[in-house]
A and B are shown apart, each in its own frame.
Chain A
Amino acid sequence: MSTLIDAPPAVRLTGITKRYPGVVANSDINLSVRRATVHALVGENGAGKSTLMKTLFGLHQPDEGTIEIDGQARTFASPADAIAAGIGMVHQHFMLADNLTVWENVVLGAEPTSSGRLDGARARRDIEAIAQRYGLGVDPRALVEELGVGARQRVEIIKVLYRGARILILDEPTAVLVPQEVDELFGNLADLKAEGLTIIFISHKLDEVRAIADEITVIRRGTTVGTADPRQVTNRQLAEMMVGSALPVPELRESTVTDREVLRLRGVRVAGVGRDVLSDIDLSIRAGEVVGIAGVEGNGQAELVDAIMGLEPVADGAVELAGRDVTRLSTLRRREAGVGFIPEDRHRQGLLLEATLWENRCLGFQTRRPAARGMFLDRAAARADTRRIVEQFDVRTPGIDVLAAALSGGNQQKLIVGREMSGDPALLIASHPTRGVDVGAQAAIWDQLRNARAAGLAVLLISADLEELIGMSDTLRVILRGRIGPPLDPRTVTPESLGVAMTGGHEAGGPDLPDTAGTDRPEQPGQAGVVGSADRVAESDLGTAGGSLSARKVTE
């Protein structure tokens, strides 16, 4: 690509080490970024990517190592030095003033003046020139609050270009974008590259990284472990480089499905604003069976969970637990009847972050042993049982008196899984059980699910990770626009065919689609436009199947 084979790299970091009291955040980092390329930096959360970029942007100084920009050694005492050297940083969270216009935001802190007064006309001219040159379409006069997320990101990029940046650091730039905006951003990045700019792209979405990067550097536990060629490496290989070991594989052994029905939904309808969010849901889960629900987020999964948990009123139909109608029972009664619940968002629904681990153990069990004895808390028993969970579920913690907030996401999740599997539940609702946890925790959680299934637990598994869904389910159901499709056999389903079914696309997706195409789906999207977008979504979701292996750990 570059004709200047011998030209010094735009950025070369050698032996960078940064220590914090008690922790080494970066040690012996080596990174070389060729000019006019997109260089991706990938790694798990907490691997040290941000620390490294802060070093490069002058937010702190490394304890050891050297920084070279275009072949010249540099030390950055502050971001101002880094900016002067042509480095610009686009933060993950936008730093824009909503009530100012685009051009005002761009010049903020670097205002052009003519005889002491702000020269707005010149600023707008300059910004338009930059926007033109790099194809970053945005109206300088528009108010930032009126802009979409993609446009705001372009403003952020213009902001650093306006300050003369030649090397752009983009920190998780796609985290806040929808797929179309990601495509747009990648177009912009290609233009920037063509203009000779160098881009350092920090991300954990491996398929995006492979799509945009010219070279990939992997960072693990604070040090660089190698580089990869995006054209040759697979998501799985990258993910394994990131975690330094083989990834756990979601799979079930022989079937443990019994004919004892634990959960049964009959014609369940849940009303939303203006339309039904769930309609005509029939679902059955038997003891020892894992039923996986596949679907693009927002197609009724959350409402399904809420309806089973009693968090959302059911307008029509019935929810039966082990043959008993629980439709009118409160959440508490359902939990007492043996429903365990691993919520989608553990911080929102699963934990009291500012309470101790043993108090969190009591949550959801406040009326039962071991947490309670009559109207009193049984602290001793609750604490003892918390120790059991910590032990049995390998929750890495120095003790049970630390706050839940102090644990890592994976350990928080293991605590929740342990708690929800206590007290002999009959049904477990596992909503994205391994989202945002590290691979170790993921393997442990899968193990626990397998054990519980063998012990006769009925599991409703909801996940965005298709590999997990296919590997861990005995039966798959697709949910689309609040309706649930017929049972699928995970042994005959591929991520591709499942992806097509999830978006309601044609069977064009593949011949290996047995009975996926929802016959009960009234509006088969025949229009070209819809199909097109559906395919696109399917593709990105498939990507996640492999890529999310890492996404999961990092989003934490």
Chain B
Amino acid sequence: MKALSGRRVLLGAAGPVGALIFSAIVSAIILVLTRHNPFEAFGAMGQAFSRPRVLVGTVNQVSSYYLAAVAVAIGFKMNLLNIGVDGQYRLAAMLSAALAGASFMQGIPSVVRILMTIVAAMLIGAAWAGIAVWLKISRGVSEVISTIMLNAIATAVIAYLLSPGRLAVQQGNNLGTRPITDGGMVPTIPIPKSITPLYTLLLLALLVGVLYAFLLSRTVFGFKIKATGLNPAAAVASGISVKRMAVAGMLLSGAVAGLVGMPELLNGPSHQYSINFPSGFAFTGIAIALLGRNHPVGMAFAALLWSALDSSANALQGVGVPNQLVVIMQGTIVLSVVVAYEIVRRYRVVLEQRDVARALAQSRKEPVAA
């Protein structure tokens, strides 16, 4: 059995590593065709990490990417496609920022304030996702459609609320929620030679990852998620309520989505949710969940890779290569990894069938003589 599990790890890694190599080859071809030197470009990307600021930036970015990926993966695990992580985290970040910045929060102890902010964000994320799953259960609306539309509605709601006199204050050109005072922020760790400090909410992402792993492999709920995703008909026949699982899964996914904006909000430099708040983490999260195969560790590596590619993009301009090259690489990785995983999956099933057949053929030889 040892050999089997060793092979599983190898096969598991074959997909993403193959995709990475393939995308490097594709990018190199594009670079050559556009008369750039691929070695110079890749060299510059690697060089970028010798600067502490880039390294810290990479690590800081990982938290949000990873949280978004986990949020998406919880749904993916049970064939529930939560495309609405984007709307869920932005709405959650905006409303919890408004709460954290509100004047009545000033007198509350720091830890309680931070916890309240985080819990509020989770509840808001879950509630927004809850609309989609409610539509699915009661009206049979596909969650893909409803979550996409809820993203647009979230944008409109945020635009409505984020105006002076409602939840926003005007500061120069910027429009944002009332800035959170120091007591409401989570301290960061200053890093020498880097103007960006290290975000400590990386620990939050880590905790979510550990809980996610524990949930999937050790709990009954996780087993039910897996069973529902692998074979809904068998799940129903085994007494698992697929509807109830959809509700629970979606709410959980939304709650984790609510956390996506927290590192930026509570560790970031702006102390508020403003029109400049980063968006699009969710779609990156989908790509990372795909790349990491919804696996807690796989997604951590995928988030790190994605973030590293992002932060090395700027270095490309130094050697005269458009930084969109990174986008091409990321796109190629996602496309090729989907193909690679399917190939690996089929190969693995065949391999195991052959193993079983061989193991049994040996034990069968004797009694056949009769």
Contact = CB atoms under 8 A, between A and B. Distances in A.
Interface stretch (B45-53, B151-159, B317-325, B349-357): B349-357
Contacts of B238: 331-332, 335, 363-364, 366
Interface string B1-33: 100110000000000000000000000000000
B359 A398 contact: yes
Interface string B333-370: 00000000000000001001111111111010000101
Chain A interface size, as a band, is 35 or more
Given A311-B237, A330-B241, A364-B237, A352 B352 contact: no
A193 interface: no
Interface string A384-408: 0000000000001111011101110
A398 B361 contact: no
Interface stretch (A200-208, A269-277, A342-350): A342-350
Contacts of B217: 377
Nearest to A332: B239
Contact of A359 (B218, B223, B355): B223
Given A245-B370, A352-B226, A403-B352, 15 more contacts: A330-B241, A343-B237, A349-B234, A350-B234, A352-B230, A354-B349, A362-B223, A366-B223, A366-B240, A397-B356, A397-B359, A397-B360, A398-B356, A401-B1, A402-B356
Nearest to B348: A403
Contacts of B352: 402-403, 405-406
B222 interface: yes
Contact of A309 (B1, B5, B237, B355): B237
Contact of B222 (A333, A334, A377, A397): A377
A439 to B, nearest CB: 13
Contact of B218 (A354, A376, A397, A407): A376
Given A341-B237, A352-B226, A354-B230, A23 B361 contact: yes
Contact of B220 (A245, A372, A406): A372
B239 A355 contact: no
Interface of A: 22-23, 221, 245, 309, 311, 330-336, 341, 343, 348-355, 359, 362-364, 366-367, 371-372, 375-377, 379, 396-399, 401-403, 405-407
Interface residues of B, number: 38
A338 to B, nearest CB: 13
A22 B358 contact: yes
29 contacts: A23-B357, A23-B361, A221-B368, A311-B236, A332-B240, A336-B239, A348-B231, A348-B233, A349-B233, A349-B236, A352-B231, A354-B349, A355-B230, A362-B223, A363-B235, A364-B238, A366-B220, A366-B223, A366-B227, A376-B218, A377-B223, A397-B356, A397-B359, A398-B356, A398-B359, A402-B352, A405-B352, A406-B353, A407-B356
A406 B355 contact: yes
B220 A375 contact: yes
A51 to B, nearest CB: 14
B90 interface: no
Contact of B219 (A348, A376, A402, A407): A376
A104 to B, nearest CB: 32
Contact of B234 (A221, A330, A363, A376): A363
A359 B226 contact: yes
A377 B358 CA distance: 32
A396 B358 CA distance: 11
Nearest to A21: B354
Contacts of B218: 376-377, 379
Contacts of A311: 236-237
Contacts of B234: 348-352, 363
Interface in B191-241: 217-224, 226-227, 230-231, 233-241
B355 A351 contact: no
Contacts of A351: 231, 234
Chain A to chain B: the 6 pairs with minimum beta-carbon distance, closest first: A332-B239, A364-B238, A398-B359, A406-B352, A349-B237, A331-B239
Contacts of A332: 238-241
Nearest to A405: B349
Contacts of A334: 239
A401 B5 contact: yes
B236 A331 contact: yes
A331 B238 CA distance: 7
Contact of A375 (B4, B219, B356): B219
Nearest to A20: B354
Nearest to B354: A22
Contacts of B363: 396
B349 A403 contact: yes
A124 B368 CA distance: 54
B4 A399 contact: yes
Given A245-B370, A330-B241, A401-B5, A367 B220 contact: yes
